[in-house]
C-alpha cells in the first residue's frame, strides 16, 4: 500500500506544479489559458525528443524549459489585443495545433505511436529507493515552486499583475506595460509546467499525443477551481485532492463490491458530482484567494 501512496503522491506533485503554473496565469493574472497542456507537452516532448536523438537528459531539460518559455511568450503575444475569453479560445486552438503536430510529425515525435522507453531519473538506484528519491525531488520542487509563486504574488510584481487583471486600463495609465507583464508571466509560469512535463515523461517512460488531449487542461482547471482560484496553497490542495480521489475510487469499488461495468460509470459520477457540488456550494474553492492579505512590498 505504501508504494501505491508514494506513487499517487508523486503524480499529485506533478499535477500540483501544473496547477501552480495555471494558477499564476489564471488566478493571479486573469489569463484564461485553456491550452495549459501544450506547455506541459513542451516538457514531455523535450524529454522524449532528447532521448530519441540521444542528446541526454540535461539537454532534454534545457530543451523543455526553453520550448515552454518560448511557447508561453508566444501565447501571450498572439493574444495581446484580445479580451480574456477570446484569448482563452486562441490558447485552446494553439494547444490543439501542437497536439496535431505531435500526432503527425512522426520523424520527430514518433507520431501517434509516441516515444517509449525513456529511462527513469536516478536510473542507478534500485526500484524502491528510486521511488523515494523521485518523491523527495517532486515534493521539494512543489515546495520551491509554491514559495516562488508566493514571493511573486506578494511583491510589487504581483500587485502590478493584479491591477492588470482587475483594471487593465488603470494599469496602463499607471505606466505598466501590460503586454510585457503578460508575456513575462506566461514565460515564467510555462517553465513550471515544463518541469512537470519533463519529470512526468521520465517517470512514466512514455510520451504520446493522447497524453496532451485538451481534456487534460480541464482537469488542471478543475484542480485550481476546487482548490481555490488565485491561491497557491489552493492549487496544491486541489491537485492532491483530485489526484488522490481519482486513485482511490477503485478501492471504493472493491469495498462495495461493484461489478466491473460500473467502475467507469462510478468514477465519472463521483468526480462529476463532486465538481458540481463544489461549484454549487463552495464557489471560491477550499482555500479561497485572500484579497488584500499580507504583502511585503
Partner 1 sequence: MKSILLSGVFVLGLSVAAYAQEAVIGAVLPLSGSSATQGDDQRRGMELALEKINADGGVLGHPLKIITEDSGGRTATALDAAKKLVTVDKIPVVLGEFSSGITIPIAQYLLQQDRVHINIGSSSTQIRSLGKGAFSVIGLDDVSGAFAAQDVFSGGAKNVAVIAPNNAYGQGIANAFAAKFKSLGGAITSTVLYTEGQTTYRRELQQLAAGEPDLYVYTAYGKESATINRESFELGLNDKKWYGLYLTMCTADSDPQYVEGQIGMDLNYIGGNGGDYQKAYEAKYKGGFTSTFNGFAYDGVMLVAAAINKAKSLDPQKIEDAIAEIGKSYEGATGPILLDADGQRSTQPYLRLKIESGKAVATQ
> With binding defined as CB under 8 A, does residue 174 bind partner 1?
no
Judged by beta carbon, residue 94 or residue 102, the one nearer partner 1 is 102
Q: How far apart are CA 27 and CA 165, in angstroms?
A: 9
Q: How many residues bind partner 1 (CB under 8 A)?
A: 40
**Of the candidates 125, 204, 233, 275, which one interacts with partner 1 according to CB under 8 A?**
204
Comparing CA positions, the residue from 90, 58, 85 lying closest to residue 202 is 58
> With binding defined as CB under 8 A, does residue 246 bind partner 1?
yes
Q: Is the separation of the CB atoms in 27 and 229 below 8 Å?
A: yes
Q: How far is CA 166 from the centre of its chain?
A: 24
**Of the candidates 81, 169, 173, 260, which one interacts with partner 1 according to CB under 8 A?**
260
C-alpha cell at 286: 477550499
3-state secondary structure of 98: helix
Judged by beta carbon, residue 209 or residue 285, the one nearer partner 1 is 209
> With binding defined as CB under 8 A, does residue 277 bind partner 1?
no
Judged by beta carbon, residue 2 or residue 173, the one nearer partner 1 is 2
Q: How far is CA 218 from the centre of its chain?
A: 10
C-alpha cell at 85: 475569453
Q: Where are the alpha helices (DSSP H) in 31-56?
A: 36-52
Each residue 85-124 as x (binds partner 1 by CB under 8 A) or -, in order, gives ------------------xx-x----xxxx-xx-------
Q: Is the separation of the CB atoms in 122 and 212 below 8 Å?
A: no
Judged by beta carbon, residue 137 or residue 184, the one nearer partner 1 is 137
**Of the candidates 107, 255, 281, 296, which one interacts with partner 1 according to CB under 8 A?**
255
Using CA atoms, how far residue 202 sits from 48, 116, 123, 127, 216, in Å, is 8, 10, 10, 14, 19
Of the candidate spans 17-25, 174-182, 203-211, 231-239, the one that interacts with partner 1 by CB under 8 A turns out to be: 203-211
Residue numbers of the site for partner 1 (CB under 8 A)?
Answer: 1-4, 7-8, 11, 103-104, 106, 111-114, 116-117, 127, 204-206, 208-211, 216, 246-247, 250-251, 254-257, 260-261, 263-265, 267-268
Amino acid at each position: 500500500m505504501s508504494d501505491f501512496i508514494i506513487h499517487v503522491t508523486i503524480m499529485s506533485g506533478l499535477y500540483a506544479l501544473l496547477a501552480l503554473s495555471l494558477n499564476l496565469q489564471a488566478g493571479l493574472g486573469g489569463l484564461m489559458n485553456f491550452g495549459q497542456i501544450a506547455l506541459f507537452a513542451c516538457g514531455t516532448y523535450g524529454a522524449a525528443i532528447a532521448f530519441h536523438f540521444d542528446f541526454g537528459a540535461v539537454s532534454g531539460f534545457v530543451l523543455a524549459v526553453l520550448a515552454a518559455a518560448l511557447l508561453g511568450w508566444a501565447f501571450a503575444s498572439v493574444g495581446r489585443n484580445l479580451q480574456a475569453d477570446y484569448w482563452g479560445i486562441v490558447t485552446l486552438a494553439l494547444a490543439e495545433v501542437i497536439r496535431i503536430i505531435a500526432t503527425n510529425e512522426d520523424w520527430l515525435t514518433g507520431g501517434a505511436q509516441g516515444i517509449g522507453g525513456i529511462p527513469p531519473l536516478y536510473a542507478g538506484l534500485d526500484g524502491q529507493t528510486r521511488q523515494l528519491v523521485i518523491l523527495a525531488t517532486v515534493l521539494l520542487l512543489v515546495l520551491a515552486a509554491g514559495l516562488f509563486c508566493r514571493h511573486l504574488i506578494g511583491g510589487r510584481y504581483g500587485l502590478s499583475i493584479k491591477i492588470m487583471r482587475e483594471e487593465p486600463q488603470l494599469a496602463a495609465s499607471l505606466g505598466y506595460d501590460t503586454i510585457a507583464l503578460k508575456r513575462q508571466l506566461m514565460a515564467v509560469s510555462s517553465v513550471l509546467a515544463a518541469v512537470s512535463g519533463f519529470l512526468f515523461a521520465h517517470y512514466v517512460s512514455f510520451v504520446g499525443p493522447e497524453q496532451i488531449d485538451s481534456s487534460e487542461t480541464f482537469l488542471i482547471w478543475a484542480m485550481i477551481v476546487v482548490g481555490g482560484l488565485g491561491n497557491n496553497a489552493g492549487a496544491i490542495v486541489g491537485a492532491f485532492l483530485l489526484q488522490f480521489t481519482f486513485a482511490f475510487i477503485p478501492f471504493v469499488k472493491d469495498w462495495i463490491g461493484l461489478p466491473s461495468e460500473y467502475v467507469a460509470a462510478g468514477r465519472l459520477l463521483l468526480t462529476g458530482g463532486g465538481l458540481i457540488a463544489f461549484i454549487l456550494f463552495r464557489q471560491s474553492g477550499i482555500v479561497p484567494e485572500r484579497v488584500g492579505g499580507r504583502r511585503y512590498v
